[in-house]
Amino acid sequence: MSQLATQAPAVAAPRSPRSRRTTRTNYELYGWVFMRASGVVLLVLIFGHLFMNLIDGEGINAIDFGFVAGKWASPLWQVWDLLMLWLAMIHGTNGVRTIINDYAERTGTRVVLKSALYLSFVVVVVLGTLVIFTFDPCPAGSPADLLPSFCEA
Amino acid sequence: MAQTNEIAPETGSAEGTPGGTDEREPQAADASGGAGAVPSFDVTLRIRRFDPDADEPEAYWEEFTVTAYGTDRVLDAMHKVKWEVDGSLTFRRSCAHGICGSDAMRINGRNRLACKTLLKDLDPSKPITIEPIKGLPVIKDLVVDMEPFFASYREIMPFLITGGNAPSAERIQSPEQRERYDDTTKCILCAACTSSCPVFWTDGQYFGPAAIVNAHRFIFDSRDEGGAQRLEILNDKEGVWRCRTVFNCTEACPRGIEVTKAIQEVKRAMITRAF
């Protein structure tokens, strides 16, 4: 009896569907929605930024250290530029991540490219955020004609 | 009553093609020249061949020139090659009438069914290139391994899922409810859409348009209760979110299914479910 069982012919395994590592999260969904929402917000932010810097008032000739320092002394422009920085960086990084996923076939290539991408994301976002919040509009010992008007000698 | 016209085999009777002597084919003035004569012309097929049993298996192009008729399809010309010129030419075809979905191939750079593509619509004055569909491993000549394609299809559970006791009569559905998913019921699983998708070409991990179309067919069926499970499956990293709305699938579909639209509808169903 037991011999019968042991001598049973090896049956070929049924055609097994490729194992696809299932990811039961909503990350890709949120990413997809974020790209669309941030895209709309970025349109407003970027064109508002371009208008204020290049067209409004004296136009492009007004841009100098004083102009930028004056803007960043105002909470509105701090928030505006911070939002623009973060949204643009996340939007762009997610887009490039998608492109890497689409075009880099080898796992090694994908890991290297994405690591470089995330590293540059961190560097740019950290540096940009630091600049916006720690910016000194009136550095000591600078000629007064280069500084914004509210600086005291 | 008519004189004996030379009629292409398998092209039916002369009455079937009234005014068959088309002005576009000057060679039409064949010996018979009756009103029902079907114009004939020479056409060159440039076919991508691959023989796995060769000493050094490598794909190559081979050209065949055959005489075809104005009513002939690409498949008829390929039959002529296989039956009369080179019997080793290998391709799939079953019904030869656009229903079985066996003979999807890349004809002049576009995925089509060989049995639904008329030679005269392809400019037969130039060689017609015929390749296997892309993104799936070639087994021989135009035959590809469809297993990855069907594995994705099986994964979305293409069958009715219900709960509770089965009704004693039919499961009732209104015409409007039936209309909701009518478009995606037309799929014949020929893989023309999936193998035209550039995202599928890269690594073949993406579920592909065909699997999503067939999930759509059940997700939007009022009788089916497996919608949540199917949405969950397609919410995968390799699911609907990899669709870039390139529209290659919609263009390739020999059944005219609006594939990209169906994928977008599945995305929308997921978003409304998540928020």
Tell me whether residues A29 and B232 touch, CB distance under 8 A: no
Task: Report yes or no: A26 at the B interface, CB cutoff 8 Å.
Answer: yes
Both structure tokens of A2: 């037991």
Q: What is the pLDDT of residues B53-95, one digit of tens each?
A: 999 999 999 999 999 998 999 999 999 999 999 999 999 999 9
Q: Distance, in angstroms, between A104 CA and closest chain B CA?
A: 8
Which residues are CB-contacts of B21 (< 8 A; sequence separation ≥ 6)? B28, B29, B33, B35, B37, B39
Question: H/E/C letters for each residue in chain B?
Answer: CCCCCCCCCCCCCHHHCCCCCCCCCHHHCCCCCCCCCCCEEEEEEEEEECCCCCCCCCCEEEEEEEEEECCCEHHHHHHHHHHHHCCCCCCCCCCCCCCCCCCEEEECCEEEECCCCEHHHHCCCCCEEEECCCCCCEEECCEECCHHHHHHHHHCCCCCCCCCCCCCCCCCCCHHHHHHCCHHHHCCCCCCCHHHCHHHHHHCCCCCHHHHHHHHHHHCCCCCCCHHHHHHHHCCCCCHHHCCCCCHHHHHCCCCCCHHHHHHHHHHHHHHHHC
- Partners of A100 on chain B (C-beta within 8 Å) are none
Q: Determine the residue of chain B that is closest to A20 in CA distance.
A: B205
Task: Report yes or no: A14 at the B interface, CB cutoff 8 Å.
Answer: no
Q: Determine the residue of chain A that is closest to B232 in CA distance.
A: A24
- Is A118 contained in some domain? yes
pLDDT tier, A21 (very low <50, low <70, confident <90, very high otherwise): low
Tokens 């192009």 -> residue: B61
pTM for this one? Answer: 0.80
- Is A23 contained in some domain? no
- Is A77 contained in some domain? yes
What is the domain-level CATH number for residue A113?
1.20.1300.10
User: What residue numbers bound the domain in which A57 lies?
Assistant: 29-146
Task: Please say if the pLDDT value at position B193 is more than 60.
Answer: yes
> What residues of chain A, 84 to 103, have a C-beta less than 8 Å from chain B?
101-103
Looking at residue A36, its amino acid is R
- Number of residue pairs across A and B with CB atoms under 8 Å? 45
Looking at residue A112, its amino acid is V
Q: Determine the residue of chain A that is closest to B266 in CA distance.
A: A29
Domains of chain B with CATH codes:
14-144 (3.10.20.30), 147-274 (1.10.1060.10)
Q: Distance, in angstroms, between A5 CA and closest chain B CA?
A: 32
- Is A39 contained in some domain? yes
Task: Please say if the pLDDT value at position B19 is more than 60.
Answer: no
Least-confidence region, from B12-16, B130-134, B259-263: B12-16
What's the full length of chain A, in residues?
153
Residue A85 is inside which H or E element, if any?
Answer: helix A75-103
Percentage of residues of chain B with pLDDT beyond 90: 79
- Is A21 contained in some domain? no
- Is A53 contained in some domain? yes
Task: Please tell me which residue, A20 or B39, carries the higher pLDDT value.
Answer: B39
Tell me whether residues A18 and B237 touch, CB distance under 8 A: no
How many domains, in total, are found in chain A? 1
Q: B138 - beta bridge partners? A: B144
Q: Determine the residue of chain B that is closest to A23 in CA distance.
A: B236
Task: Please say if the pLDDT value at position A64 is more than 80.
Answer: yes
Task: Report yes or no: B272 at the A interface, CB cutoff 8 Å.
Answer: no
- The pLDDT score that the predictor gives to residue B1 is 41
- Is A2 contained in some domain? no
Task: Please tell me which residue, A53 or A59, carries the higher pLDDT value.
Answer: A53
- Partners of A102 on chain B (C-beta within 8 Å) are 198-199, 202, 242, 244
Q: Coil, strand, or helix at residue A105?
A: coil
Task: Please say if the pLDDT value at position B199 is more than 50.
Answer: yes
CA A121, CA A108: separation in Å to the nearest integer? 20
Rg of chain B, C-alpha, whole Å: 22
Do B63 and B44 touch, CB atoms closer than 8 A? Answer: yes
Least-confidence region, from A11-20, B64-73, B104-113, B147-156: A11-20
- Partners of A26 on chain B (C-beta within 8 Å) are 235, 274
Q: What is the pLDDT of residues B215-254, one digit of tens each?
A: 999 999 999 999 999 999 999 888 999 999 999 999 999 9
Tell me whether residues A29 and B233 touch, CB distance under 8 A: no
- Partners of B198 on chain A (C-beta within 8 Å) are 102
Task: Report yes or no: A36 at the B interface, CB cutoff 8 Å.
Answer: no
Task: Report yes or no: B176 at the A interface, CB cutoff 8 Å.
Answer: no
Q: What is the pLDDT of residues A102-151, one digit of tens each?
A: 888 888 999 999 999 999 999 999 999 999 988 888 888 888 888 888 88
Task: Report yes or no: A24 at the B interface, CB cutoff 8 Å.
Answer: yes
Neighbours of B187 (CB within 10 A): 22
- Mutation pick from B145, B246, B271 vs chain A, by most beta carbons of A within 10 Å, is B271
